[in-house]
Structure 1
Amino acid sequence: MIFSKLSQREILATSSASNAQASSNVVIQEAHQCKADAIEKMRTPHLRQWLAKRSQHSITAEAGANTAPATVPNAATNRILGRWLLGCSGLVVGAVVLGGVTRLTESGLSMVDWHLVREMKPPQTRAEWEAEFAKYRQFPEFKIMNHDMTLPEFKFIFYMEWGHRMWGRLVGLAYVLPTIYFWKKGYFNRSMKGRALGLCGFVFFQGLLGWYMVKSGLEEKPESYDVPRVSQYRLSAHLGSALLLYCASLWTGLTLMVEPHKLANTKRLNQLRRFAKGTVGLVFLTALSGAFVAGLDAGLVYNSFPLMGDRWIPDDLLAFSPTLKNFFENPTTVQFDHRVLAISSLTAITGLYMFSRRMMLPRRAKIAISCLTAMAYAQVALGISTLLLYVPTPLAATHQSGSVALLSLAIWVLAELRKVAK
């Protein structure tokens, strides 16, 4: 009896709670409905217009965001820019090699005018060729050295110089046009914008320097009956700026393409890095001294090795006064300097190789150092052969190309040993 009364009370309590919850839900629903009705009543025509304008502005902003320059992810951007710069550095190598062959064939003074666009089209008719040949005959190279030259022979040297100039224009386009495209696409960060502008500016400077060099060989020198040639100072500046452009492009391209190794920053590794940097500087200086050898035809002064004639140090080493003048204008001194720098570079690279063998380096870095060492010995062998054979054009051109290859491998070594950017 007691249990039945308790059960009835529990049932009544549960029923009351359910009824209370149901009535609470009804009240909440009515409140929501009232709120919705109030909002609907507040929607005046002005409010509807404001909402429509706001929606239209949102759509316009979204469309503008969709048309903004797309930015490629950083890793992909680096690969694209790295390939571009490596391609540009390859074109610069082509210009250096072609310029060397142009000089060796004595073709550099065949085009006596400089026009950025007009000279892109070579002479077509015989009358045009005769007019161009007539202009060439007015300058010292024809009067002193090529006074018996025929029109077909002139065409050969003209096309050599024309090809070199057109290749230079191709190099300029390869730098400038992609720079504009990548800039608009948003591929450049702040640092890369500065580098790209610097490289493009350097290309234009190199073109002007080339004409400034050629101009020195066209000047009348009544007091001199020597073979007309361009200034060795301007030739060295022209080659040196081309090599700087090449090094900057190659280094930037490699650092974008090749991830740095995570190496422990030890004392010996820092010493190796400094050693490698000094070696790159020595290789560059040796290549630059080769421009003075070419400008003065110093390779034809003493054609023996290791002695110069029958002496280690020739008598006319310091024949000019003041003494400093010998290092830039005395063919004997210029050849001697190039020999010393070449042997010093070979010694430094050999030392770099021996020093690196005693260290735990990544496989790629070891390969780079080994390739650099092998190329150094090949380059010295090429130089000695060129000297002993009285500077034949094919061998001399190969020797000049070898200097660029050696410099390239030295920069690769630096790229492999560089520190990880913080």
Structure 2
Amino acid sequence: MSVAHSEPHPRRRFVRAWLLIVAALVFATAALGGATRLTGSGLSIVEWRPVMGALPPLSDEAWHAEFAKYKTIPQYQEVNRGMSLEAFKVIYWWEWGHRLLGRVIGVAFLLPFLWFLWKGWIEPGLRLRLWTIFGLGALQGAVGWWMVTSGLAERLSVSPYRLAFHLTLACTIFAMLLWTAQRLKPRDGIDLPPRIRTRAMLLLILVLAQIYLGALVAGSRAGLIYNTWPLIDGALVPDVSRLFFERPWWRNFFENTLLVQFNHRMLAYAIFALAILHTANVARASRGGAALTGALVLASLITLQAGIGILTLLHVVPLGLALLHQAMAVVTLAVAVIHAERVSQRRAATADIMRPLLSS
């Protein structure tokens, strides 16, 4: 049984299109951030200037000044000593582009949002949600700089803890934008058992958690070792003494590269199994339709992403495969969001969020 919804109001379409554009920008920024990390470019700009930093060096003198600042940090002194100015420009442009996209997102979100508020197109419930997203976006900018500072004094790269937080926060913002945009799309509701809705939400949460674990793998460079599959360190399950040798014990989950990679593998297996089970349950309960299509697409993407991850590991993290693996993680998250929102019970909320539009 389904519940019909009215045709979309033109103003609602504008708001939804705006949210989708911002979500696409967040996706692009996450992908560019992955390229920045994988090319070793993330520490090339050693200052945080939210406004004036939008301008790149515009003269030869300015380029030499930026290069001189980079020469003061450990990464240059111990890894890139002797780097030419032209080589520095390459890594600088990666980081500058990543930061510029972050600034573009802020403008692309805030200006239309203020205009929609001024026109009275957004009711209080949605208004609070959007202010929350904006606040998280501002926090993300600060977290990005906080992450960079971890590699400016003693480390040769950024902290895995901060990198994982930075990527996970970006993906959370992306998921919130996409979920909110989907809520503004009038469709028929889907009558499904509660357990299916619960599993769809669980898949969404686990995909986000897997992105966090993947960021820990990337930040700790755990993908550069134990490059075998299905065995890891010569076994399906490594010896406990090797998984938990750090003290205190909880540090192993973040700093023991064997356990970090093992956890990423195990959660991948769990997500794959849950996706197959979920698809079978939806097939029995829905007899086709959007819910089954979403479950099938999600399960297929999870399978594909697992395969890409295995290839990335076996080939010792080549740039192309690593970039594809991170981008596909966000694509998988997007499909998980769309599917979970589509089968959720709160379909009636769609009409309430933008009621002022329908009465104007």
TM-score calculated relative to the size of structure 1:
0.78
In 2, the alpha carbon distance for the partners of 1:262 and 1:171 equals 34
Structure 2 gaps of 5+ residues are 1-6, 350-360
Q: CA deviation at 1:364?
A: 1.9
Aligned partner of 2:348 in structure 1 is 421
Q: How many aligned residue pairs are there? A: 340
Match of 1:399 in 2: 325
Aligned match of 1:302 = 226
Is 1:335 paired with 2:269? Answer: no
**1:359 Cα offset (Å):** 1.5
Residue in 1 that maps onto 2:181 = 253
1:262 to partner: Cα distance: 4.9
Q: Which residue of 2 aligns with 1:111?
A: 45
Corresponding residue for residue 196 of structure 1: 130
Aligned counterparts of 1:361 and 1:281: Cα–Cα separation in 2: 26
Identify if the C-alpha distance between structure 1 residues 85 and 96 changes in structure 2 by more than 3 Å, giving closer, same or farther: same
Runs of 4+ off more than 4 Å = none
Counterpart in the other structure of 1:68: none
Matched, 1:148 2:75: no
Q: Does 1:187 align with 2:111?
A: no
Q: 5 Å matches for 1:47-196?
A: 75-196=9-130
- CA shift for structure 1 position 201: 1.2
| Greater shift in the superposed pair: 309-318 or 198-207 | 309-318
Segment of structure 1 superposing worse, 315-324 or 146-155: 315-324
Alignment match, 2:164? 236
Deviations 1:301-337 (A, max 9, x none): 2000000132223342222122211001111110000
SS at match of 1:358: helix
Identity %: 37
1:373 Cα offset (Å): 1.1
Shift in Å, 1:258? 4.1
Structure 1 residue runs of 5 or longer lacking an equivalent are: 1-72, 222-227
Task: State the 1:206 CA deviation.
Answer: 0.6
Q: Is 1:281 equivalent to 2:208 in the alignment? A: no
1:365·1:413 contact (CA, 8 Å) conserved in 2? yes
Aligned residues of 1:293 and 1:335 also touching (Cα < 8 A): yes
Q: Note the C-alpha offset of 1:78.
A: 2.2
Aligned partner of residue 271 in structure 2, secondary structure: helix
Distance 1:98 1:260 in 2: 37
Letter in 2 for 1:116: P
Q: Secondary structure at the match of 2:237?
A: coil
Q: Which one has more relative contact order, counting CA pairs under 8 Å at least 6 apart? A: 2
Are positions 1:218 and 2:166 aligned together?
A: no
Letter in 2 for 1:128: A
* Contact map agreement 1:230 1:295 (CA 8 A) in 2: yes
Report the secondary structure of 1:289's partner residue. helix
Match of 1:19 in 2: none
Following TM superposition, by how much is the alpha carbon of 1:209 offset from its aligned partner in structure 2, in angstroms? 0.6
1:114, CA displacement in angstroms?
Answer: 0.8
Q: Distance in 1 between matches of 2:298 and 2:23?
A: 18
What residue identity is the alignment partner of 2:326?
Q
Which structure: larger Rg? 1
Preserved contact between residue 279 and residue 345 of structure 1 (Cα < 8 Å): yes
- Whether the 8 Å contact between 1:175 and 1:199 is mirrored in structure 2 is no
TM-score by length of 2: 0.91
Structure 2 Cα separation of the partners of residues 178 and 385 of structure 1: 42
Letter in 2 for 1:373: A
Question: What is the rounded CA distance, in whole Å, between the counterparts of 2:185 and 2:8 in structure 1?
Answer: 12
**1:260 touches 1:415 (CA, 8 Å); kept in 2?**
no
Distance 2:61 2:221 in 1: 35
